[in-house]
Amino acid sequence: MKKMKAVIPAAGLGTRFLPATKAMPKEMLPVVDKPAIQYVVEEAVSADIDDILVIIGRNKNAISDHFDSVPELEVRLQQKGDHGRLERVMKSSDLADIHFVRQGEPKGLGHAVLRARTHVGDSSFAVLLGDDLIDERDPLLVDMIAAHERTGAAVIALMEVDPSQIHMYGAAAVDETDTDGVVKVTGLVEKPAAEDAPSNLAVIGRYVLPAKVFEILERTEPGKGGEIQLTDALQELAAETDGPGVVGVVFGGRRYDTGDRVDYIKAIVQLAADREDLGPGLRPWLKEFAERL
């Protein structure tokens, strides 16, 4: 079977992080010592994907530069004998075959995904949002790819959230299936008020989509916020009665929305506290700090 390609949309304006994102994309904000988007690329690679298309917007050269090699830096680290850092610096340019395409204007996630059409062609593909981190200890994408291969359906990732939070997400109406942790998606609503939400299952930033979604996106009108919404195209697939439709893989692991300031801080603290090199220095201080709160 041909390997699946991945698409990482990273062309949003990142308004929640202004002014940090005035001249720098939010996907380049460091999470401990790597930019958020590198975690996302590594996640795709560990799901056996080696061809990645990043959708970039204004100020996004920083992203392509990050995945390029920097010979002068490499030579300097080599001369200093700093092999650990050299390896880490080279890793980002060796990860996968990474391509870039621009989204001229940020007209929404659906519009960004449509920019991948030429590169992806008529195969199914994965979409990983560049500001949404899934902890590598809690794999998700491999299960989604397996669900797609089994059913032919578009596969979305769902996570239970507190009802008071559902207005920040797409919410899914679902039916049970025979497979544990996999649900049939019967409808989707973008950012509903708590009282209108069909469930407290929120759509998070991982998708495995059939190429057919491009045809739908091509004619999807701007929806909520004047943007072309991926959710609207998925809703159309979910409503189809003569196709495999949409299924959801329910994720119970650790996930950080680094586009949100509080979640971003939590991601840094949690990942650093768990690391062997930084945890021992950080954890005692964290305990003491928490006691003082």
Which residues in this chain contact ligand UTP in the complex, by CB under 6 A? 9-16, 55, 103, 106-109, 111-112, 129-131, 259
* Nearest distance, CB of residue 108 and ligand UTP, angstroms: 5
Count of CB atoms situated within 10 Å of the CB of 72? 7
Least CB distance from residue 132 to ligand UTP, whole Å? Answer: 7
Least Å distance between CB 106 and ligand UTP?
A: 3
Helix (H) or strand (E) holding 81: none
Alpha-carbon dihedral 258, 261, 263, 266, rounded to 10 degrees: 110
- The residue among 169 and 251 lying less far from ligand UTP, judged by its C-beta, is 169
Q: Which two tokens stand for residue 227?
A: 């943007």
Question: In whole angstroms, how close is the CB of 115 to ligand UTP at the nearest point?
Answer: 9
- Length of the chain equals 293
Choose between 16 and 99: whose C-beta lies nearer to ligand UTP.
Answer: 16
Taking the C-alpha atoms of residue 215 and residue 172, their distance in angstroms, rounded to an integer, is 22
Cβ closest to ligand UTP, residue 26 vs residue 184: 26
DSSP string, 187-224: EEEES--GGG-S-SEEEEEEEEE-THHHHHHHTPPP-G
Instruction: For residue 25, say if its preceding peptide bond is cis, omega within 30 degrees of 0.
Output: no
**Locus of tokens 């509080």:** 262
User: CA-CA distances (angstroms) from residue 230 to 53, 146, 239?
Assistant: 17, 22, 14
Rg (the chain; Cα; Å): 20
Report, in Å, the least distance between residue 44 CB and ligand UTP: 14
Q: How far is the CB of 131 from ligand UTP (least distance, A)?
A: 5
Nearer to ligand UTP, 106 or 187 (CB): 106
Among 43, 69, 187, 67, smallest CA distance to 126 is for: 43
Number of other CB atoms surrounding residue 82 within 10 Å? 13
Residue nearest to ligand UTP (CB): 12
245/259 with CB nearer ligand UTP:
259
Return d(Cα 290, Cα 161) in angstroms, integer.
25
What pairs with residue 128 in β-bridges?
Answer: 206
In the complex with ligand UTP, which residue's Cβ is closer, 207 or 251?
207
Q: How far is the CB of 22 from ligand UTP (least distance, A)?
A: 12
> For residues 33 and 105, which CB has a smaller minimum distance to ligand UTP in the complex?
105
